[in-house]
């Protein structure tokens, strides 16, 4: 991949000459079509592993599923088959291949060494447990060559905790998907301090190629990006209820009938750019107000006690009583059919948003 080879920085630290040569030559010669001939190995065939398998297969990649529990792999294959059929029926199937063509790309393997052989990208999807993940990476580190990329799906474990000490640390990266992964395109790419620049670029290109929207964090940070922004919203929402300013229902309405409508289509910077005559003009006008309001924010809430009781009694519980749910809300969110229903509303929302932009 010449374009990336030009931007390669010298590797930090001392790597054995032979491994450095293999590593570099891989990034000089590989391109996405070569990648497609190679396999993606998914380690852990649970909810996220299955979604990744579907995403890669939808873009024509060969996928090998591995799990320590054999039954998990068999049920993953069956569940993927059912999901693809249902997605085709409801018009939500990704890519240009038919379900049966996608299924032909997905195979199972119960021997880790064999599964690693020939893989160009390994996507780890085992449970969120640092010790377990480190053990998995140590095993993979012994088996992997100097060209494969080792990527973790972790939701919040830092790369420095996950990958430090591995022989192939330069080839390691976090690629954090957002649930439900098949429908939500964002992937947060978080490098270890020693991750090679080419590994970040290669993973970025791979994510783009399967239709995802990767973002690159230049360095690791607790909570990555999505959760830091999400927690800022939850924190202030909580304080507004706790301080008796708003009812919990009205906080939800501020998002669902206000901010959320914009933020479904554009980020905070694009929003402020359109809310004035450009971003600079917005800051000239509103920086004082923003700083005054931001400096009045209270301390980090405890997320318990009286406020918890108050928020726990609000209509969302009445609107969506958990006991009446046919499946758990978390599973509901992952249900393609339910999401597709709500996605059907998106064109309407998009029109509203475009109209709003014209008015802005």
Chain residues binding ligand NAD by CB under 6 A are 43-49, 67-69, 72, 125-128, 132, 136, 153-155, 176-177, 179
78 vs 101, beta carbon nearer ligand NAD:
78
Task: Retrieve residue 163's tokens.
Answer: 């990958």
44 vs 248, beta carbon nearer ligand NAD:
44
Contact by Cβ (8 Å): 239, 228: no
Q: What's the closest the beta carbon of residue 155 comes to ligand NAD, in angstroms?
A: 4
Task: Retrieve residue 200's tokens.
Answer: 């970040």
What SS3 class is residue 265?
coil
Look up residue 266 and give its DSSP letter: S
Residue nearest to ligand NAD (CB): 46
Q: What's the closest the beta carbon of residue 258 comes to ligand NAD, in angstroms?
A: 27
Contact by Cβ (8 Å): 162, 190: no
Task: Retrieve residue 194's tokens.
Answer: 């020693």
Q: What's the closest the beta carbon of residue 214 comes to ligand NAD, in angstroms?
A: 14
Q: What's the closest the beta carbon of residue 207 comes to ligand NAD, in angstroms?
A: 14
Rg (CA), the chain: 23
Sequence-distant (≥ 6) Cβ neighbours of residue 204 within 8 angstroms: 189, 214, 216
Taking residue 27's Cβ as centre, other Cβ atoms within 10 Å add up to: 20
68 vs 312, beta carbon nearer ligand NAD:
68
Q: What's the closest the beta carbon of residue 154 comes to ligand NAD, in angstroms?
A: 5
165 φψ region: left (φ > 0), alpha (ψ -120 to 50), beta (else): left
45 vs 147, beta carbon nearer ligand NAD:
45
Q: What are phi and psi of 185, to 5 degrees?
A: -75, -20
48 vs 80, beta carbon nearer ligand NAD:
48
Q: What's the closest the beta carbon of residue 109 comes to ligand NAD, in angstroms?
A: 11
Question: Which residue, chain included where needed, has tokens 């240009």?
Answer: 96
156 vs 255, beta carbon nearer ligand NAD:
156
Spatial CA neighbour of 104 closest among 127, 81, 120: 81
57 vs 198, beta carbon nearer ligand NAD:
57
Q: What are phi and psi of 342, to 5 degrees?
A: -75, -30
Q: What's the closest the beta carbon of residue 168 comes to ligand NAD, in angstroms?
A: 18
47 vs 314, beta carbon nearer ligand NAD:
47
Report DSSP letters for 146-208, one per residue.
Answer: SS-EEEE--SS--HHHHHTT-TTGGGEEEEEE-SSTTT--EEEEEE-TT--HHHHHHHHHHHH
Spatial CA neighbour of 126 closest among 102, 105, 157: 157
Q: What's the closest the beta carbon of residue 257 comes to ligand NAD, in angstroms?
A: 27
């Amino acid at each position: 991949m010449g374009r990336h080879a030009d931007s390669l920085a010298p590797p930090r630290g001392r790597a054995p000459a032979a491994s450095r040569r293999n590593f570099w030559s891989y990034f000089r010669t590989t391109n996405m079509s070569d990648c497609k001939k190679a396999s993606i190995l998914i380690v852990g065939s649970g909810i996220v592993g299955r979604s990744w398998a579907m995403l890669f297969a939808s873009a024509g990649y060969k996928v090998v599923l591995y799990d320590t529990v054999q039954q998990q792999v068999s049920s993953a294959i069956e569940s993927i088959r059912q999901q693809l059929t249902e997605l085709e029926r409801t018009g939500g199937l990704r890519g240009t291949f038919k379900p049966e063509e996608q299924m032909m790309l997905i195979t199972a393997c119960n021997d880790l060494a064999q599964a690693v052989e020939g893989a160009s990208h390994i996507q780890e999807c085992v449970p969120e447990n640092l010790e377990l993940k480190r053990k998995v990476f140590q095993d993979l580190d012994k088996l992997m060559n100097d060209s494969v990329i080792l990527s973790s799906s972790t939701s919040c474990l830092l790369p420095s905790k996950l990958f430090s000490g591995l022989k192939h640390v330069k080839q390691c990266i976090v690629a954090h998907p957002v649930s439900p992964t098949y429908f939500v395109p964002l992937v947060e790419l978080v490098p270890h301090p020693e991750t090679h620049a080419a590994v970040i670029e290669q993973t970025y290109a791979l994510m783009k190629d399967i239709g995802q929207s990767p973002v690159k964090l230049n360095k690791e940070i607790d909570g990555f990006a999505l959760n830091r922004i999400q927690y800022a919203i939850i924190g202030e929402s909580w304080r507004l209820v706790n301080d008796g300013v708003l009812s919990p229902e009205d906080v939800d309405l501020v998002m669902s009938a206000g901010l959320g409508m914009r933020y479904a289509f554009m980020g905070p910077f694009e929003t402020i750019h359109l809310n004035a005559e450009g971003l600079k003009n917005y800051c000239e006008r509103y920086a004082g107000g923003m700083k005054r309001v931001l400096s009045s924010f209270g301390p980090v809430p405890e997320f318990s006690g009286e406020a918890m009781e108050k928020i726990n009694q609000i209509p969302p519980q009445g609107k969506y009583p958990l006991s009446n749910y046919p499946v758990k809300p978390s599973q509901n969110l992952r249900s393609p059919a339910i999401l597709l229903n709500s996605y059907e509303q998106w064109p309407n929302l998009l029109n509203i948003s475009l109209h709003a932009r014209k008015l802005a």
